[in-house]
Structure 1
């Protein structure tokens, strides 16, 4: 079993920022400095996105359970990235809400499903 550290959330923040820059380049064909600097808001969103993931990962007992939870998170990531891009229409709050909620909910729901299927009470 792996014990994940919250530093994973820090690295995830930078990965989310890089993914948003790639989405911007694919969408508009180029990357200017101003949107790249404005996109720095995605780094703390990535941090907040993965804090619940690390929390629930550390509460699971086996590596197999943790791999299943990664599956839930990976399914939610595209929804989250799209939510961040579209949430920008509602300002910074929209970016945070629509960016963090899909992954946080996927990790919560995944945790409960994994624990129930393993025959243990979710705690």
Structure 2
């Protein structure tokens, strides 16, 4: 007994869904990174922590987390500064390395969801 199957593949629809899922995944991933890094930002008055933002460029599917105060870079890079317990320099770099796999999983889950 022979069976025949006909599959219609709509490349444009698949690519569109993949792209939208990827964009949503990148947004959720950078928001996750922002949340984790905020827990490590050196804190005196909370200004540096509140200045953190997560942005996504959907055309290039790239995301960024940034802290925008005049002293954000120094607080991040100067390993000689003292910080409260749980707060540290490299408050963005370290979580990025530690959370990379989780961020990839977040993006992959959104792509899978979009393709259902």
Bin the TM-score by the shorter chain. 0.3 to 0.5
TM-score, L = length of structure 1: 0.32
Structure having the larger proportion of residues in strand: 2
- Larger RCO, structure (CA 8 Å, separation 6 or more): 2
TM-score, L = length of structure 2: 0.33
Which protein has the larger Cα radius of gyration, Structure 1 or Structure 2? Answer: 2
